[in-house]
Amino acid sequence: MTQLADLPTLSRLIREVGLSNFIQGLADTIHADFLRWPQFQKQPRVVNHSPGGVIELMPTSDGRRYAFKYVNGHPGNPAHGLSTVVAFGVLADVETGYPLLLSEMTLATALRTAAVSLLAARALARPGARRMALIGNGAQAEFQALAFHWHLGIDEIALYDVDAQATQRLMRNLAPYPSLRLRPCESTAQAVRGADIVTTITADKRRATILTPEMIEPGMHLNAVGGDCPGKTELHADILRQARVVVEFEPQTRVEGEIQQMPVDSPVTELWRILAGDGPGREHAQQLTVFDSVGFALEDFSTLCYVHQQLQRHGLGRELALVPSLQDPKDLFSLTNPGQAQERAAPYTGATHDAPAHHDDAIVLDAAPGDRDHRARRQSAARTLC
Ligand SMILES: NC(=O)c1ccc[n+]([C@@H]2O[C@H](COP(=O)([O-])OP(=O)(O)OC[C@H]3O[C@@H](n4cnc5c(N)ncnc54)[C@H](O)[C@@H]3O)[C@@H](O)[C@H]2O)c1
C-alpha cells in the first residue's frame, strides 16, 4: 500500500510531533543512517539544467528500502510568486519495488537541511557558540535559525538579505521565540562581524562571493548551504584555501559545491566519517571550518523513513491508489474495464475516491470498521520499517 503525505498532512504531523522534536528526530535519523554509510548505494544526483534553474533526481537505497527525491532550484521564481525550491519524494520496498510512501518534500527539505547543518555544526563549530550570522533570509532561513537555537545554543542571530522584506518576514515569524535575539543588519560584513557561525543560504544562479576573506575571523564555522549547483557558489575561493572543508558525498560536492572552485584533489572530509569517529571534527579553537552543504540523497532517504514512521505513530496520512492491487497480477487489462476494475482494485480505489475535499478531513486516516485490519497491518509494517 502506498501512503500519501501531502502538505496538509505533513504540516499537521509537524504540529503533532512539535517542530523542535521533529528537527531533532530528523537529525537523529540522519545521524544513524550516516553511521551505516557503506551500506547505501550512492551516486551523485541526476541533474537537468536550464538557464533559470535546475531539476534534480536524488536516488539511494540501503538494499531494503529505496528512495528518491525530485527537487528543483529556480532562484528567479519568487519574482513570479513561486518558491525557489519545491520537492516531493518516494520511499519504496526494494524486495518488491512497490512504493510505500509518496510525500511532499518542500517543507521536509527545509527541515532536513536544517538537521544536517546542525549535525555538521555540532562537530565543527566552537563549543559554546552563541552568535550566528544568517545571510539569505528566504524560505529555508527560519528552519536554520530555530534548529541552531534549540539544539546548539545559538541565542543571537544577525540577519542580512538583499531583500529587506525577507528579513522582516523572518523576524515576524520568529517573534514568538523571544529567547532568540534577532539583529537586522545593513550588510553581510556587518552581520558576520563577531559571529561564531555564519550560515549562507542565498539563492542566485551565479558564482557569487557572499563571503570574502576580509570578513572571516579565526575560529568561525561557515555553514555554506546556498551554493549547490555548477556555477552557483557563495564563498570566495581564498576562504576555502584556508579552511578545513567538510562535505556530504565528495563525488557530488566536487561538481556542485563551493569546492567546484578548487583543484580536484583539494583536501576534504566527508561528514559521515567525523560522525562515525573516523576523523576529527574541529581540531583547534582558531581553525576556520566550512560545511560545504549541497544536499545528499541519503538525507532524504532518512527523512522519508522518519516521516513514514511518524505517520504510522500519529495515525495520519491516507492510502493512495498509485499502483494496482489486482487479484490476478497478470490481469492489468481489467483496469481498463471500469466495472471490473472497481471490484478488483477495491483496497485502493475506495481510499482515493472517498477522500473528502476538505484538507483537514483528507489528512485523517480513514478509520472505517472494514479498515481496522488494514490499519493494524500498516502499523505492524511501520514497526519493521527503517
Ligand atoms: N544544501 C542544501 O541541502 C540545500 C537545501 C535547500 C536549499 N538549498 C539552497 O539554499 C538556497 C536558499 O533557498 P531558499 O528556499 O531559502 O530560497 P529563497 O529564494 O526563498 O531565499 C533566498 C534568499 O537569498 C536572498 N539573497 C540572494 N542573493 C543574496 C545576496 N547576495 N546577499 C544576501 N541575500 C541574498 C534572496 O533575496 C532571498 O531572500 C538556495 O540556493 C537553495 O538552492 C540548499
Per DSSP bridges, beta strands 46-50 and 53-61 are antiparallel
Query: Does pLDDT of 272 surpass 60?
Result: yes
Per the structure, the count of domains in the chain is 2
Query: Does pLDDT of 292 surpass 60?
Result: yes
Q: What is the pLDDT of residue 73?
A: 97
Structural domain ending residue among the three candidates 295, 322, 339: 295
Residue 159 near residue 183 (C-beta atoms within 8 A): yes
pLDDT band with cut points at 50, 70 and 90 for residue 358? very low
In this prediction, residues 189-194 reach a mean pLDDT of 98
In this prediction, residues 20-42 reach a mean pLDDT of 98
101 and 184 fall within a common domain: no
Mutate to test the pocket of ligand 1, among 86, 105, 140 (most ligand atoms within 8 A of CB): 140
Structural domain ending residue among the three candidates 295, 314, 333: 295
CA 310 to the chain's CA centroid: 16
Name which of 16, 69, 77, 70 is nearest 52 in CA terms.
77
pLDDT band with cut points at 50, 70 and 90 for residue 1? confident
Residue 100 near residue 2 (C-beta atoms within 8 A): yes
Q: What is the pLDDT of residue 178?
A: 97
Which of helix, strand or coil describes residue 236?
coil
Residue 71 alpha carbon to ligand 1 centre in Å: 14
Query: pLDDT of 52-65, one tens digit each?
Result: 999 999 999 999 99
Q: What is the pLDDT of residue 205?
A: 78
The verdict on residue 121 lying in a domain is no
Considering the entire predicted model, what is its pTM?
0.90
Mean pLDDT of the chain: 90
The verdict on residue 367 lying in a domain is yes
- Alpha helices per DSSP H over 80-177: 106-124, 141-152, 164-174
What is the share, in percent, of the chain residues with pLDDT greater than 70? 87
Query: Does pLDDT of 31 surpass 70?
Result: yes
pLDDT band with cut points at 50, 70 and 90 for residue 339? low
The verdict on residue 120 lying in a domain is no
Nearest CA residue ID for atom 26, ligand 1: 202
Q: Is 293 in the pocket of ligand 1 (CB under 6 A)?
A: yes
Atom in ligand 1 nearest the alpha carbon of residue 75? 19
Q: Is 30 in the pocket of ligand 1 (CB under 6 A)?
A: no
Query: Does pLDDT of 126 surpass 80?
Result: yes
Domain containing residue 309: CATH number: 3.30.1780.10
Q: Is 76 in the pocket of ligand 1 (CB under 6 A)?
A: no
Mutate to test the pocket of ligand 1, among 55, 77, 84 (most ligand atoms within 8 A of CB): 84
Domain containing residue 240: CATH number: 3.40.50.720
How many helices (DSSP H) and strands (DSSP E) are in the chain? 14, 17
185 and 235 fall within a common domain: yes
What is the share, in percent, of the chain residues with pLDDT greater than 90? 86
247 and 323 fall within a common domain: no
The verdict on residue 138 lying in a domain is yes
Q: What is the pLDDT of residue 356?
A: 30
Residue 163 vs residue 359, higher pLDDT: 163
Q: How far is CA 204 from CA 55, 208, 254, in A?
A: 15, 7, 19
C-alpha cell at 60: 539511494
Q: Across-strand partners of 133?
A: 158, 198
102 and 133 fall within a common domain: no
The verdict on residue 112 lying in a domain is no
Q: What is the pLDDT of residue 337?
A: 85
Q: Is 212 in the pocket of ligand 1 (CB under 6 A)?
A: no
* Positions marked active-site: 228
Query: pLDDT of 218-257, one tens digit each?
Result: 999 999 999 999 999 999 999 999 999 999 999 999 999 9
145 and 66 fall within a common domain: no
Nearest CA residue ID for atom 40, ligand 1: 203
Q: What is the pLDDT of residue 372?
A: 38
The verdict on residue 117 lying in a domain is no
226 and 324 fall within a common domain: no
The verdict on residue 209 lying in a domain is yes
The verdict on residue 12 lying in a domain is yes
310 and 280 fall within a common domain: no
Residue type, 203: A
In this prediction, residues 325-341 reach a mean pLDDT of 87
Structural domain ending residue among the three candidates 237, 260, 295: 295
Q: Tell me the CB-side half-sphere exposure of residue 271, using CA atoms within 13 A.
A: 29
275 and 304 fall within a common domain: no
CA-to-CA distance for 117 and 226, rounded, in angstroms?
12
284 and 308 fall within a common domain: no
Query: Does pLDDT of 194 surpass 60?
Result: yes
Query: pLDDT of 359-377, one tens digit each?
Result: 333 333 333 333 334 444 4
Domain of 166, in residue numbers: 126-295
Atom in ligand 1 nearest the alpha carbon of residue 208? 31
Residue 19 vs residue 338, higher pLDDT: 19
Residue 13 near residue 289 (C-beta atoms within 8 A): no
Residue 372 vs residue 147, higher pLDDT: 147
Query: pLDDT of 76-95, one tens digit each?
Result: 999 999 999 999 999 999 99
Cell numbers 485490519 label which residue?
A: 373
266 and 308 fall within a common domain: no
Residue 223 alpha carbon to ligand 1 centre in Å: 13
Q: Is 225 in the pocket of ligand 1 (CB under 6 A)?
A: yes
Q: Is 208 in the pocket of ligand 1 (CB under 6 A)?
A: yes
